[in-house]
Amino acid sequence: MKALILSGGKGTRLRPLTHTGAKQLVPVANKPILWYGIEGIVAAGITDIGIIISPETGEEVKSQTGDGSQFGAQITYILQEKPAGLAHAVKVAQSFLGSSPFIMYLGDNLIQSDLHLFVDIFKQQALDALILLRQVENPSAFGVAEVDPQGRVLRLIEKPKNPPSNLALVGIYLFSPAIHAAIACIHPSPRGELEITDAIQTLIDQGKQVEALQLEGWWLDTGKKDDLLEANRIILDTCLTPEVLGEVDPQSQISGRVQIGIGSKLINCRVRGPVIIGKNCYLEHCFIGPYSSIADGVTLVDADLDHSVILQGAKVIGVHQRIVDSVIGQRANLTVAPNRPKALRFMIGDDCQIELV
C-alpha cells in the first residue's frame, strides 16, 4: 500500500504567512504540520509516500522534508502545476500510484486517531473507498456525506448550500485502484476543479464498495490562523514532553510542562506551561504563558505573550503589552513604543518589520 500526501495549494487563508512559504510547513508545537501526517502514515506501516507539491513552494517542501529517511520512509515528489482539485492531484500521481491501493492525506490536516485502525478495516473488508467523517457545526464549508445506518455512503456533495447532514469529509481517504477509472469519468466542477467527491460518487453509482467511518477523536484543519492556534494548543496539551536542555538562570521561574531546546538561554523569565521553546533562543525579562510555541533562534526581550506561535528567527523586543492569539512569521521584527493598549493580537508574515508608536 502507498500513500499520497497533498502539499500544494496556495494557502490563501493563512496569508500573509503563506505568501512566502508552504502552509503545510507552518509549525505546530515547533514541528511542520506536514510531518505529523508523514509520521502517522509511517506508524500505520506505509513507507512508500508520494507528496504532491506546487511550483511556488515545492522546493521548500523538498528541502525541509528530504527523501523521507528521517521518517523511515521513501518519499517521491510529484509536481502539480496548478491547484485543479483533489482528484486532479490523484490523476497527476497515477504513474507513482500504479495499481496499488493507497491512502490520500491532505497535508494541512491533523487527527488524533491512529491511521492503522482505518488501514486495517480498509484491507480486511476489501473496500474500494473508505472515507472518514466528522460531525461539524458548519457543514456547508466542507464536502458532506449522507450515509445509511450501516455506514454505507449514499451521496456526497461538495460544499452544499443545503447540507443533507452535518458529516464533513475529513481530509483523509483510502482508495483501491478503481478510483483512477472513476476520476477518468468525471468533469471539472463549476469552480473548475476535478472534485474527489465526484469521483467517490461515481464509485457509489457503479456499485463499488464505499463505506465511511466517523472519527471519535479530534480533527483539525489548520488552514486559518485560529485553527492553527487551536492545533498548537491541543498538541501541546496532549503530546508535549517536559525537558529543559537550555540554560535557565536562578531568577527565572518555570512551571507546568515546558520544553526548552539546547543552546537556549532564559534570563529573569517566567514560563507557565504547556510551552515549547526551540533551540538557540534568547529570552530576557519575559512572561511566556500557556499554549505558546517559540521556534529555533527566536529573540524575546521585555515581552509578554501567551497562546501564540512565534516562528524561526523572529525578534520581539520591548513589547510590554500582552501579545495573545498571535502568529508571528519567520525573521519578523516587532518593537512597540510605550502607551499601547493592554493586549495585542497579530498575524505577521515572514521577514516583516513592524514598530507600533
Higher pLDDT among residues 137 and 350, named by residue: 137
Q: Which amino acid is residue 253, in one-letter code? A: Q
The answer to whether the CB of 273 falls within 8 A of the CB of 240 is yes
Question: Residue 81: its pLDDT value, please?
Answer: 92
- Is the pLDDT reported for residue 161 higher than 60? yes
Does 146 score more than 50 pLDDT?
A: yes
Cβ contact 235:28 at 8 Å? yes
Write out the three cell numbers for 216: 471519535
Contact between 25 and 60 (Cβ < 8 Å): yes
CATH 3.90.550.10 occupies which residues in the chain? 2-235
40: buried, middle or exposed (CB in 10 Å: 19+, 13-18, 0-12)?
Answer: buried
CATH of 2-235, one of 3.40.30.10, 3.90.550.10, 3.40.50.300, 3.10.20.30: 3.90.550.10
The C-alpha atoms of residue 167 and residue 155 are separated, in whole angstroms, by 11
Residue 83: DSSP 8-state:
-
Residue with cell 501564540: 308
**Which cell is 214 given?**
466517523
Confidence of residue 338 (pLDDT cuts 50, 70, 90): low
One CATH from 1.10.1060.10, 2.30.40.10, 2.160.10.10, 2.60.40.10 for 242-356: 2.160.10.10
* Mean pLDDT of the region 345-351: 66
User: pLDDT tens-digit profile of 29-52?
Assistant: 999 999 999 999 999 999 999 999
Confidence of residue 355 (pLDDT cuts 50, 70, 90): low
Cα–Cα dist 69/268, whole Å: 40
Would you say residue 120 has pLDDT above 60?
yes
pLDDT, one tens digit per residue, over 174-192 is 999 999 999 999 999 888 8
More confident residue, 237 or 218: 237
Lowest mean pLDDT among 6-10, 177-181, 252-256: 6-10
User: Can you give the pTM of this predicted structure?
Assistant: 0.87
Closest to 96 (Cα-Cα) out of 72, 77, 73: 77
Report which secondary-structure segment, H or E, holds 39.
Answer: helix 33-43
pLDDT band of 15, cuts 50, 70, 90: very low
Name the pLDDT band for 300 (thresholds 50, 70, 90): very high
Q: Look over the chain and give the mean of its residue pLDDT values, rounded to a whole number.
A: 88
CB 103 within 8 A of CB 41: yes
Pick the range with the lowest mean pLDDT from 84-93, 207-216, 335-344. 335-344
Residue 1 confidence (pLDDT)? 96
Q: What pLDDT score does 353 carry?
A: 61
Nine-digit cell string for 67: 527523501
Q: CA-CA distance, 109 to 164, in Å (whole number)?
A: 24
Of 10-14, 112-116, 302-306, least confident by mean pLDDT is 10-14
- φ/ψ region of 317 (left if φ > 0, alpha if ψ in -120 to 50, else beta) reads beta
Percentage of the chain modeled with pLDDT above 90 = 61
Give residue 63's pLDDT band: very low, low, confident or very high (50, 70, 90): very high
94 in the Ramachandran plot: left (φ > 0), alpha (ψ -120 to 50) or beta?
Answer: alpha
Task: Give the pLDDT score at 16.
Answer: 45
Segments of the chain assigned to CATH 2.160.10.10? 242-356
CA–CA dist 349, 327 (Å, integer): 8
Q: Residue for cell digits 464533513?
A: 168
Element (H, E) at 197: helix 196-205
